[in-house]
């Protein structure tokens, strides 16, 4: 048994990648699925789509490799985090669409809990903030709005889970209801200092604890897949939320190491070691990974719109046909025009946490066109990352994130990565393997299977594709960043 299958269930698509024991990619498959927007600020996925695309891509990756399922030693699962599902334990059917992490429907509930003075207690225990981003208020909404759900939950008939738990449940034919510590840490219900579900918070949100999955390490036994799925039972041995899996895939195993993933949004995680560092600057404290019962913590900055701003140029404004066209356009932009875009399409995440904000563009002239829009869009991602880095350094000291390791679809853009390095005034490293999320999940499963070496021995395998060094003049860097801060302040003021 020489292979490891990673299932990466993301916000817009499911991917499956088959690795060999040295974590080299052998084959892969990807399928997009439908996004549902039933009301303004609401985002849902059909749970059946999540499962069907995950299972179909897993099968396709195995077929493409031309190997039998019997030679797969382990499955690793990684997933979009916070997205909330509720299902019937007897039938395995979901009671409602999954409420996606981007969904803002519980903004009022969060405001009310804040006004009642609960945020400090919740933050101290979960490391999170009272924002609709996290699962807890989404689950409370489901229990309040799906008929009969609360009484059935109290009777123990229902199960809650993030996407990892939903996949594990389906892969094992309903035998295992479990999650890992990193996914649990995103629910708003999990005490990350004591590593247990928090009774007081569950009581406050009126969530019956019978709903909750068992929490395991990231490298652990999550049961066997049904034999009929792949023609052979395969053990599930690794689980982590996608941003944490990318942290592992980027080999950020030492305190002070930091990665930033540029997909739909951008999520930067700084390894803080065994210390749970509370943020004084509106970052999240979260679990990077838990191995052999030992928790490694991270500070996280979450930006909701990164690559999505490029998608907006393509699908909304229709000024580009493919994402890569942004680079030649940005290069053509008029250097004398100072167009700044604040892409707060679904509010602002860290460090501002303003779900009520909406996007804004400043500095337009009659000469502003697609090139200036493209440059402003790409620059907005760099500025938002600098906001996170400033907060991280204020929380953790200047050694934090001295070099930034990047991945995700947008990291392919050389122009964006050069601007990122320029505006941060720090080197930006892009690895050879950009499928770091899947690689992280495969590593965790391989570690448990005994195929992969422990973290201190694997770090050396990380290979650099390109280092971007800052080239921008310091006075220009400061002037540009000051203008961004002004634009953000004006956007918040206008909300």
Closest distance to ligand ADP from the beta carbon of 311 (Å): 5
Closest distance to ligand ADP from the beta carbon of 174 (Å): 28
Find tokens 């990318």 and name the residue.
246
Closest distance to ligand G3P from the beta carbon of 45 (Å): 11
Is 286 annotated in a binding site? The answer is: no
Smaller CB separation from ligand G3P, 329 or 392: 392
195, with CB counted inside 10 A (0-12, 13-18, 19+), is middle
**Candidate ranges 18-26, 160-168, 187-195, 235-243; the one touching ligand G3P (CB under 6 A):** 235-243
Backbone angles phi, psi at 230, to 5 degrees: -120, 10
From the list 95, 107, 91, the residue with the least C-alpha distance to 47 is 95
Smaller CB separation from ligand G3P, 300 or 422: 300
Is 81 annotated in a binding site? The answer is: yes
Residues 324-353 that bind ligand ADP (CB under 6 A): 324, 326
The interface partner of residue 311, options being ligand ADP, ligand G3P, none and the CB cut-off 5 to 8 Å by kind, is ligand ADP
The residue from 9, 11, 137, 162 that contacts ligand ADP (CB under 6 A) is 11
Rounded-to-integer distance, Cα 259 and Cα 105, Å: 30
**Candidate ranges 187-195, 273-281, 308-316, 460-468; the one touching ligand ADP (CB under 6 A):** 308-316
How many other C-beta atoms can be found within 10 angstroms of the C-beta atom of residue 411? 25
Smaller CB separation from ligand G3P, 255 or 301: 301
Rounded-to-integer distance, Cα 43 and Cα 23, Å: 34
Element (H, E) at 446: helix 436-449
Is 190 annotated in a binding site? The answer is: no
DSSP helix/strand/coil, 4: strand
Backbone angles phi, psi at 290, to 5 degrees: -130, 120
Q: Is 310 in the site for ligand ADP (CB under 6 A)?
A: yes
Smaller CB separation from ligand ADP, 56 or 67: 56
The residue from 49, 82, 379, 395 that contacts ligand G3P (CB under 6 A) is 82
Smaller CB separation from ligand G3P, 13 or 331: 13
**Candidate ranges 132-140, 146-154, 318-326, 343-351; the one touching ligand ADP (CB under 6 A):** 318-326
Residues 236-295 that bind ligand G3P (CB under 6 A): 241-243, 263-265
Rounded-to-integer distance, Cα 386 and Cα 425, Å: 9
Per-position DSSP letters for 119-166, written without gaps between them: HHHHHHHHS--S-TTSHHHHHHHHHHHSTTHHHHHHTT-EEEE-HHHH
Smaller CB separation from ligand G3P, 172 or 243: 243
Q: Is 355 in the site for ligand G3P (CB under 6 A)?
A: no
Backbone angles phi, psi at 181, to 5 degrees: -65, -30
Number of residues that bind ligand ADP (CB under 6 A): 19
How far, in whole angstroms, is CA 439 from its chain's centroid? 15
Is 12 annotated in a binding site? The answer is: yes
Q: Which two tokens stand for residue 372?
A: 């200036």
The interface partner of residue 349, options being ligand G3P, ligand ADP, none and the CB cut-off 5 to 8 Å by kind, is none
Rounded-to-integer distance, Cα 133 and Cα 82, Å: 7
Residues 401-440 that bind ligand ADP (CB under 6 A): 408-410, 412-413, 416
Contact 236, 254 (CB under 8 A): no
Smaller CB separation from ligand G3P, 78 or 418: 78
241, with CB counted inside 10 A (0-12, 13-18, 19+), is buried
The interface partner of residue 82, options being ligand G3P, ligand ADP, none and the CB cut-off 5 to 8 Å by kind, is ligand G3P
Per-position DSSP letters for 276-337, written without gaps between them: ----SSSPEEEEEEEETTEEEEEEEEEES-SHHHHHIIIIIS---SSGGGHHHHHHHS-TT-
Closest distance to ligand G3P from the beta carbon of 78 (Å): 9
Closest distance to ligand G3P from the beta carbon of 408 (Å): 7
Rounded-to-integer distance, Cα 464 and Cα 33, Å: 33
From the list 193, 299, 297, the residue with the least C-alpha distance to 253 is 297
Smaller CB separation from ligand ADP, 225 or 326: 326
Residues 250-269 that bind ligand ADP (CB under 6 A): 263-264
User: In angstroms, what CA-CA distances link 419 with 399, 413, 449?
Assistant: 21, 10, 41
Q: Which two tokens stand for residue 209?
A: 């604890």
The interface partner of residue 97, options being ligand G3P, ligand ADP, none and the CB cut-off 5 to 8 Å by kind, is none
Smaller CB separation from ligand G3P, 235 or 241: 241
The interface partner of residue 101, options being ligand ADP, ligand G3P, none and the CB cut-off 5 to 8 Å by kind, is ligand G3P
269, with CB counted inside 10 A (0-12, 13-18, 19+), is buried
Q: Which residues are annotated as a binding site for sn-glycerol 3-phosphate?
A: 11, 81-82, 133, 242
Binding residues for glycerol: 81-82, 133, 242-243
- Give the interface with ligand ADP as residue ranges (CB under 6 A): 10-13, 263-264, 307-308, 310-311, 323-324, 326, 408-410, 412-413, 416
Bind-site residues: 11-13, 15, 81-82, 133, 242-243, 264, 307, 311, 409
Interface residues toward ligand G3P, by CB under 6 A: 10-11, 80-82, 101, 241-243, 263-265
């Amino acid at each position: 048994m020489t292979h490891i299958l990673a299932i990466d269930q993301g916000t817009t698509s499911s991917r499956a990648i088959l690795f060999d024991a040295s974590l080299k990619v052998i084959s892969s498959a990807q399928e997009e699925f439908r996004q549902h927007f039933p009301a303004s600020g609401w985002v849902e996925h059909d749970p059946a789509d999540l499962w069907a695309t995950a299972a179909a891509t897993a099968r396709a990756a195995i077929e493409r490799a031309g190997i039998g399922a019997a030679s797969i030693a382990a499955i690793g699962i990684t997933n979009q985090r916070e997205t909330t599902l509720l299902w019937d334990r007897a039938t395995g059917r979901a009671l409602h669409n999954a409420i996606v992490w981007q969904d803002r429907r519980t903004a009022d509930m969060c405001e009310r809990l804040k006004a009642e003075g609960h945020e400090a207690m919740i933050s101290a225990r979960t490391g999170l903030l009272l924002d609709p981003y996290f699962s807890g208020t989404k689950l409370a909404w489901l229990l309040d709005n799906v008929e009969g759900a609360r009484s059935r939950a109290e009777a123990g008939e229902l199960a809650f889970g993030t996407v990892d738990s939903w996949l594990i449940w389906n892969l094992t034919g309903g035998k295992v209801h479990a999650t890992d510590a990193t996914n649990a840490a995103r629910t708003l219900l999990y005490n990350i200092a004591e590593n247990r579900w928090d009774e007081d918070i569950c009581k406050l949100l009126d969530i019956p604890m019978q709903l909750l999955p068992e929490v395991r390490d990231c490298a652990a036994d999550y049961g066997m897949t049904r034999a009929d799925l792949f023609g052979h039972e395969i053990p599930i041995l690794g689980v982590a939320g996608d941003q944490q899996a990318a942290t592992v895939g980027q080999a950020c195993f030492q305190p002070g190491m930091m990665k930033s993933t540029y997909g739909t949004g951008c999520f930067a995680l700084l390894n803080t070691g065994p210390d749970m560092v509370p943020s004084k600057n509106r970052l999240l404290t979260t679990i990077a990974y838990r191995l052999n019962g030992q928790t490694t913590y991270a500070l996280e900055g979450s930006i909701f719109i990164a690559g999505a701003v490029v998608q907006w140029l393509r699908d909304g404004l229709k000024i580009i046909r493919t994402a890569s066209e942004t680079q030649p356009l940005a290069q053509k932009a008029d250097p004398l025009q100072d167009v700044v875009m604040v892409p707060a399409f679904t509010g602002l995440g860290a460090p501002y946490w303003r779900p009520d904000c909406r996007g804004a563009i400043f500095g337009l002239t009659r000469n502003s066109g697609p090139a200036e829009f493209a440059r402003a869009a790409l620059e907005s991602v760099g500025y938002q990352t600098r906001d996170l880095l400033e907060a991280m350094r204020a929380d953790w000291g200047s050694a934090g994130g001295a070099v930034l390791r990047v991945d995700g679809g947008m990291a392919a853009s050389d122009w964006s990565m050069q601007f990122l390095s320029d505006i941060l005034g720090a080197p930006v490293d892009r690895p050879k393997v950009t499928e770091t999320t899947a690689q992280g999940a495969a590593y965790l499963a391989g570690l448990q299977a005994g195929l992969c070496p422990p973290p201190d021995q694997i770090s050396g395998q990380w290979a650099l594709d390109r280092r971007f060094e800052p080239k921008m003049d310091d006075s220009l860097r400061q002037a540009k960043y000051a203008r961004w801060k002004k634009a953000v302040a004006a956007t918040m003021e206008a909300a």
